[in-house]
Amino acid sequence: MIEDAPEVLVTPLTSSYPRMIREETGMWTMRLEAHDGAAWMLDRPPLIRDRDRVTVADIGPGEVSVRVVRDGGETTTTHRLLPAQT
């Protein structure tokens, strides 16, 4: 992850998050949404639980870093961005 990449906080909500979409190819994707309306369609879902603190940072063309913090520690994964679903 790029150290100076700004992160956007995403708050998981039990009723609507995470939203996974199974495509015809059999691939699972995940759409993350921030309170300001920003959204990202990830190539695969990160492991996120209801009370995790989740942040997203743009790290390069077509790539983001997703950081998940919970009581037991934190994980950071890199994801390719997919075109938004209609």
| 43 in any annotated domain | yes
Question: Tens of pLDDT along the chain (86 residues)?
Answer: 455 667 888 765 443 444 555 655 566 778 888 878 888 888 888 888 878 888 999 999 999 999 999 998 999 999 999 876 43
pTM for the whole thing? 0.74
Predicted local distance difference test score (pLDDT) of residue 64: 93
Sheet with 39-42: strands ordered across? 19-22, 28-33, 39-42
Residues in a beta bridge with 32:
40
| 31 in any annotated domain | yes
Asked if residue 31 lies in contact with residue 44, where contact means CB atoms within 8 angstroms, the answer is no
| 26 in any annotated domain | yes
Predicted local distance difference test score (pLDDT) of residue 22: 60
Predicted local distance difference test score (pLDDT) of residue 17: 45
| 2 in any annotated domain | no
Half-sphere exposure of 75 toward its Cβ, with a 13 Å CA cutoff? 8
Q: How far apart are CA 57 and CA 28, in angstroms?
A: 21
Predicted local distance difference test score (pLDDT) of residue 75: 94
| 75 in any annotated domain | yes
**How many separate domains does the chain show?**
1
Q: Domain of 29? A: 7-80
